[in-house]
Structure 1
């Protein structure tokens, strides 16, 4: 399930992933949030708090995630992935080298540091 994180700076869109994440979660929560942010600011600052194992994302969710990434490819400015899954955190740091924006992994207990990092516009 994806839920929107409230009380973030206006230029940041954030979601919390828990339990099973489906394509409907991405279609109904993630995509509209990214679309709205892109329309308002022409750039995306994104926060994902990953409280579930990436194996809990269904195949349809991964496809929708890919669609979102491609659709807004040039709008990405910063992406913070907050998780205790070391492999995901490391992948996020490496992903920064191939994506147009910056991507950075944070541990769950560093959520505020992730928000602070996203708050600084690049």
Structure 2
């Protein structure tokens, strides 16, 4: 499940996610927000992940399409989570995503917002 966050500064597209992610989550929630941000200029993306129970094959495909659909628009991606392996994966594979990536703990959410704006 993915829900859009409404309490972020202008210029930041943010979501809260948890459980098993589906293609519909990406298509109906994430994609419209990213496309709107890309039309204006830069995509500054914040994702707060509380728990993760996997993603469907369709969700993985939608994730890849979103990432590469507006490659030049991606500026920064902040992952906010207390899931250790996600921090490690961001460090190892962040170079493969468009834009800069950085992970933060749930406690450091405000620092993530400041970083993604910077």
TM-score (norm. length: structure 2): 0.92
Instruction: Look up the match of 1:47.
Output: 46
Q: How many residue pairs end up in the alignment?
A: 118
Unaligned residue ranges in structure 1 (runs of 5+): none
Computed over aligned residues only, the root mean square deviation of the Cα atoms, in angstroms, reads 1.3
**Pairwise mapping of residues 90-109 of structure 1 onto structure 2 (< 5 A)?**
90-109=88-107
Partner of 1:37: 37
Matched residue, 2:111: 113
Show structure 2 runs of 5+ residues with no match: none
Give 1:1-122 correspondences, 5 Å limit. 1-40=1-40, 42-53=41-52, 55-120=53-118
Displacement after TM superposition at 1:62 (Å) = 1.0
- For the Cα contact (< 8 Å) 2:51–2:83, is it kept in 1? no
| Alpha-carbon offset, residue 69 of structure 1 | 0.5
CA distance, structure 2, for counterparts of residue 75 and residue 101 of structure 1: 8
